[in-house]
Chains A and B, each alone.
Chain A
Amino acid sequence: MSDIALSVDQLSKSFKIAHESIRRRAYRTLHDDLVSLPSRLLSRLGRNGRATSETFWALKNISFEVKRGEVVGVIGRNGAGKSTLLKILNRITEPTSGGADIYGRVGALLEVGTGFHPELTGRENIFLNGAILGMSRAEIRKKFDEIVAFAEIEQFLDTPVKRYSSGMYVRLAFAVAAHLDPEILLVDEVLAVGDIEFQKKCLGKMEDVVANEGRTIIFVSHNIDAICHLCSRCILLRHGEIEKSGKTSDVVAVYLGGGQQQAPVVNFKLANDEAGFQVAGLYDPENRPATSFNANTPVLMKCSFVVRRAIPGLQVSFSVFNFKGEQIFYSTSSMASPALPVESAGTHHVAALIPSGLLLPGRYFINLALHIPNVHLYDRREQSLGFQIIGSPGGYHGFPSEELGHVHADVQWRRSEESSR
């Protein structure tokens, strides 16, 4: 008995990148091929024709399995091969070698409004799109009202979709695909468009589908929030190869960490004979070393440093930077209350607790410093520690992290009386 929905085996896809000037165009003309025919025949005969094209591997030996009812996220930077993978699974393009076995009916939502014709009305497009996705007319008729209701386009059913707003377009497209009842749904970056309310609705529908109907979803997205929210497992692609696959939080951590996993605890060589760091580390609330944290748990930073002889005014401080190198905040031991003096000679162990619900999902670095501010810097450790925050504080917001600013503010909202003029 097999509960595999999809198994991909040694899948590879290559494209030829042409170098000859004629072939540099996306398509050829019959004229070009006829003119170059003699030389091509010659080079084939002689086997010594110079190489005119280079092979580019969009996917290289990809193997993975997806179980029935699993929601698997596929992440990676642009050009990592995510879309090519979905295109192969959806049979739009063929693999060069290897293959995939699919157990169940596949539905795909690869791009917004594909299969929609701008001149046709919403009603006509529902039938067109449904048929393209493999539904019969009878099936579409059965689901028609549900689709229209989900897309919230009742009034515009007989309007050509070219007059639709982009939001309406997405809603309609998602509604058709979501009601297709596929056993395996391939979804590519469609939630990037559309308003937040609808994004939430789509995510809700997808959750429903997974929880109640046991369907399998492969979800490609740049939206890490959505990935963390939906997927139990993730595959990280990099240059056409699987860099990491496994639990979403682990994979996302690698993705956000740009590939290099930083150690949670770092030892330092003493930088000088006045004062210097020895060891620094990050810990979760259970005091286990960690580099990835849930947004709703605090991050505990601990460090030890040696002070050879008493240094009046010495402070230990740290700054947190996001992955773009922007400073998020600064904190120093002199801010501590009750006071935390570190001036005396000896080895000091200090701990700083970064409160939960402050940092947005993303990758962060910590710079450490031992100094008398504006007077003397004894030891500085740049990007000595790194960590990731996973999941959003305050729940899913529906848009990419960049638009959320730098920190999460626990703003209190309420109804108010009319403001005075």
Chain B
Amino acid sequence: MRSVVTQAPAAKPTLRIRPTKGWAALNVRELWRYRDLLWILVNRDIKLLYKQTALGFGWVALQPLIGANILALIFGRIAKLPSDGAPYLLFVFCGLTAWTYFSNSMQRASNSLIRNSQLVSKVYFPRMLIPLATMFAVLVDFTVMIVMLFVFMGIYGFPPTFRLLAIPGFLLLMMLAASGVALWFSALSVKYRDTSYALPFFAQIWMYASPVVYPTSMVPARWHTVYALNPAVGFIEGFRWAVLGHSALNLNIFLLTIVMSLFLLFSGAFFFRRVERGFADVI
């Protein structure tokens, strides 16, 4: 009975349902209210990813290890690409650690809404939480790779320095950029199912447009500004700088990367908000 008494005089509706026209507000407050759900979705994603696989987390370590060795063989041994003086395998593994997070989150987030179509078409909650949850779930893979990276540093005799303290900062930058891309692609893939087919191909091209297998110093200096429009350039080079202490990164490129990442994030979020109202009808 208590609830009747307290609720009865409500003259203002708790919720107004009206068609939205054009761009919608981001509604960050609602996202915050649903933070428990975000956390539960992250947990679920992590659990599901490695449930019923024989190697479990072993996959997380094995994939980049083999990948880095293949890249080191082809681009280091055969093509003899420069590595700014660092051992090539360490150089490429460093780039791969950052890149793998970016590309994994992009690919996993892009079909996250379709994977959760049961939820999207049946219950209400801020849809943005689904692709954003994958951003955090993929961090598990990233953590495994960081640990492996430290092991590599030990093997190659690179002592840890204070520069490593900058890693969380670059990680944040990386997550911002990845979230932006994830929001764009997840929203697109609801409407266009072939997004998820195009994406691996797209990710491959993006990787070669980023300093993963080669250093930024190989790119002519006058192109650096254009090159840095790719937000991946900033965090990959930042990462390398933190680990290896050598990078062609300068403040301009770095600032440009921050601007680009924020641009991706906000444009992605607004695009997502704009198309999400149709999700339940088309998914």
* Cross-chain contact A99 with B19 (CB below 8 angstroms): yes
- With known contacts A94-B19, A110-B122, A103–B281 Cβ distance under 8 A: no
Least distance between B252 CB and chain A CB atoms (Å): 35
| Pick from B37, B47, B51, B194: contact of A31, CB under 8 Å | B194
Can you name the residue of chain B whose Cβ is closest to the Cβ of A116? Answer: B118
Which residues on the B side are within 8 Å of A1 (C-beta)? 8-9, 11
- Of the listed stretches A128-136, A147-155, A277-285, A402-410, chain B binds A128-136
Instruction: Give CA–CA (A81, B19) in the complex, Å.
Output: 18
Which residues on the B side are within 8 Å of A92 (C-beta)? 120-124, 280
Q: Interface readout for B157-198 with A: 1 if CB under 8 Å, 0 if not?
A: 000000000000000000000000000000010111111001
* Cross-chain contact B280 with A101 (CB below 8 angstroms): no
* Cross-chain contact B37 with A132 (CB below 8 angstroms): yes
- With known contacts A68-B8, A133-B123, A114–B14 Cβ distance under 8 A: no
Asked if B78 lies at the interface with its beta carbon under 8 angstroms from chain A, I say no
- With known contacts A119-B51, A136-B36, A214-B4, A101–B123 Cβ distance under 8 A: no
Restricting to A106-147, which residues have a CB under 8 Å from any CB of B?
106, 108, 110-111, 114-115, 117, 119-120, 124, 127-128, 131-137
Can you name the residue of chain B whose Cβ is closest to the Cβ of A92? Answer: B280
* Cross-chain contact A29 with B14 (CB below 8 angstroms): no
* Cross-chain contact B119 with A132 (CB below 8 angstroms): yes
* Cross-chain contact B14 with A102 (CB below 8 angstroms): yes
- Of the listed stretches A45-53, A82-90, A163-171, A363-371, chain B binds A82-90
Size of interface on A: residues with Cβ below 8 Å to B: 56
Instruction: Give CA–CA (A101, B11) in the complex, Å.
Output: 11
- With known contacts A29-B192, A29-B193, A213-B1, A93–B17 Cβ distance under 8 A: no
Asked if B277 lies at the interface with its beta carbon under 8 angstroms from chain A, I say yes
Restricting to B228-283, which residues have a CB under 8 Å from any CB of A?
277-278, 280-282
* Cross-chain contact A27 with B191 (CB below 8 angstroms): yes
Interface residues on B, range: 35 or more
Asked if A346 lies at the interface with its beta carbon under 8 angstroms from chain B, I say no
Which residues on the B side are within 8 Å of A2 (C-beta)? 8-11
Which residues on the B side are within 8 Å of A88 (C-beta)? 17
Least distance between B160 CB and chain A CB atoms (Å): 37
Q: Interface readout for B36-48 with A: 1 if CB under 8 Å, 0 if not?
A: 1101110110011
* Cross-chain contact A137 with B36 (CB below 8 angstroms): yes
* Cross-chain contact B193 with A108 (CB below 8 angstroms): no
* Cross-chain contact A131 with B36 (CB below 8 angstroms): yes
Asked if A26 lies at the interface with its beta carbon under 8 angstroms from chain B, I say yes
Asked if A104 lies at the interface with its beta carbon under 8 angstroms from chain B, I say yes
* Cross-chain contact B17 with A95 (CB below 8 angstroms): yes
* Cross-chain contact B4 with A68 (CB below 8 angstroms): yes
Instruction: Give CA–CA (A110, B193) in the complex, Å.
Output: 26
Instruction: Give CA–CA (A26, B11) in the complex, Å.
Output: 42
Instruction: Give CA–CA (A388, B45) in the complex, Å.
Output: 53
Which residues on the A side are within 8 Å of B195 (C-beta)? 30
| Pick from A33, A97, A213: contact of B3, CB under 8 Å | A213
Can you name the residue of chain B whose Cβ is closest to the Cβ of A121? Answer: B47
* Cross-chain contact A120 with B47 (CB below 8 angstroms): yes
* Cross-chain contact B125 with A132 (CB below 8 angstroms): yes
Which residues on the B side are within 8 Å of A93 (C-beta)? 277, 280-281
Instruction: Give CA–CA (A392, B278) in the complex, Å.
Output: 42
Which residues on the B side are within 8 Å of A91 (C-beta)? 15, 17, 124
- With known contacts A28-B192, A134-B125, A69–B44 Cβ distance under 8 A: no
Restricting to B19-62, which residues have a CB under 8 Å from any CB of A?
19-20, 34, 36-37, 39-41, 43-44, 47-48, 51-52
Asked if B13 lies at the interface with its beta carbon under 8 angstroms from chain A, I say yes
Q: Interface readout for A162-201 with B: 1 if CB under 8 Å, 0 if not?
A: 0000000000000000000001000000000000000000
- With known contacts A102-B14, A105-B14, A110–B280 Cβ distance under 8 A: no
* Cross-chain contact B194 with A29 (CB below 8 angstroms): yes
| Pick from A15, A111, A127, A132: contact of B281, CB under 8 Å | A15
Asked if A96 lies at the interface with its beta carbon under 8 angstroms from chain B, I say yes
* Cross-chain contact B40 with A27 (CB below 8 angstroms): no
Which residues on the B side are within 8 Å of A20 (C-beta)? none
Can you name the residue of chain A whose Cβ is closest to the Cβ of B48? Answer: A119
Q: Interface readout for B100-137 with A: 1 if CB under 8 Å, 0 if not?
A: 00000000000000000011111111000000000000
Least distance between A223 CB and chain B CB atoms (Å): 20
Asked if B7 lies at the interface with its beta carbon under 8 angstroms from chain A, I say yes
| Pick from B44, B188, B281: contact of A117, CB under 8 Å | B44
Asked if A100 lies at the interface with its beta carbon under 8 angstroms from chain B, I say yes
Which residues on the A side are within 8 Å of B40 (C-beta)? 127-128, 131, 137
Instruction: Give CA–CA (A119, B124) in the complex, Å.
Output: 22
Instruction: Give CA–CA (A212, B2) in the complex, Å.
Output: 10
Instruction: Give CA–CA (A120, B47) in the complex, Å.
Output: 8
Asked if B222 lies at the interface with its beta carbon under 8 angstroms from chain A, I say no
Asked if A273 lies at the interface with its beta carbon under 8 angstroms from chain B, I say no
Which residues on the B side are within 8 Å of A28 (C-beta)? 191-193
| Pick from A89, A102, A115: contact of B13, CB under 8 Å | A102
- With known contacts A114-B119, A134-B125, A96–B19 Cβ distance under 8 A: yes
Asked if A3 lies at the interface with its beta carbon under 8 angstroms from chain B, I say yes
Least distance between B168 CB and chain A CB atoms (Å): 26
- With known contacts A68-B7, A92-B122, A30–B198 Cβ distance under 8 A: yes
Closest 7 interchain pairs by CB?
A: A101-B13, A114-B122, A131-B37, A30-B192, A99-B18, A214-B4, A29-B194
**Using a CB–CB distance below 8 Å, which chain A residues touch chain B?**
1-3, 15, 26-31, 33, 68-69, 87-106, 108, 110-111, 114-115, 117, 119-120, 124, 127-128, 131-137, 183, 212-215
User: Assuming A2-B10, A31-B194, what are 9 further A-B pairs, CB within 8 angstroms?
Assistant: A3-B8, A94-B17, A95-B19, A99-B17, A101-B15, A101-B17, A115-B119, A128-B40, A131-B40
What are some 26 contacts across the A-B interface (CB < 8 A)? A1-B8, A2-B8, A15-B281, A27-B190, A27-B192, A28-B193, A68-B4, A69-B4, A87-B280, A90-B123, A92-B124, A93-B281, A94-B277, A95-B17, A99-B16, A102-B17, A104-B10, A105-B14, A114-B119, A124-B44, A128-B40, A131-B37, A133-B123, A136-B36, A137-B36, A183-B3
